[in-house]
Amino acid sequence: MLPSDYGPGDIEFWIEPPLLLSIQSDVKRMLDEGVDSQILTLIRGLRKIIEDKGLIRNISSSAKAFNAYAIDSSYPAPPLELIGGVMTVLSYGYVGYLNGSYDRYMTGEVVFEDVGEFERVITRRAQVRERELAIKLLRNKARGRKEVDLIILDGEIPIHPLPYNLPVEGGVLARVTNVIGDLMDLAVRTNTPVIGVVKRVRSRFLSILTNECLPMNDKLIASLVLNNGEYMVLGSYGDILPQWIKVNYSDCELRKRCKGTNCNDVRDLMSRRLSEGLANLEGVFSGSKHPGLRMLRDIYVVFYKPRNGAPAVKLEVFNPNDRVSIEELVAYLESQTTDTGYPFLLDRVDEYVRLDPKILDYVRNLIIKGSKDLNPALLTMLQLTNPQKAYLVRRLEA
- The domain limits of the chain are 58-353, 359-393
Return the CATH class of domain 58-353. alpha beta
42/69: higher pLDDT: 69
Per-residue pLDDT tens over the stretch 131-188: 999 999 999 999 999 999 999 999 999 887 665 556 556 555 678 888 999 999 999 9
- The DSSP secondary structure of 293-362, one letter per residue, reads GGGGGGEEEEEEE-TTSPPPEEEEEE-GGGSS-HHHHHHHHHHTB-TTSSBHHHHHHHHHH---TTHHHH
Give the torsion sign (CA, 369, 374, 377, 379): positive
189/2: higher pLDDT: 189
Where does the chain have alpha helices with state H? 17-33, 37-52, 118-142, 174-189, 218-225, 237-247, 253-258, 264-286, 326-335, 344-353, 359-370, 376-381
For residue 391, name the pLDDT band (cuts at 50, 70, 90).
low
CA atoms of 51 and 45, how far apart (whole Å): 10
Per-residue pLDDT tens over the stretch 20-50: 788 878 877 777 766 666 777 888 899 999 9
Which among 31-40, 125-134, 260-269 has the top mean pLDDT?
Answer: 125-134
The amino acid at residue 303 is F
Q: How far is CA 296 from CA 169, 212, 386, in A?
A: 17, 25, 43
Q: Which helix (H) or strand (E) holds 234?
A: strand 230-236
For residue 7, name the pLDDT band (cuts at 50, 70, 90).
low
For residue 396, name the pLDDT band (cuts at 50, 70, 90).
very low
The amino acid at residue 152 is I
Report the SS3 class of residue 98.
strand
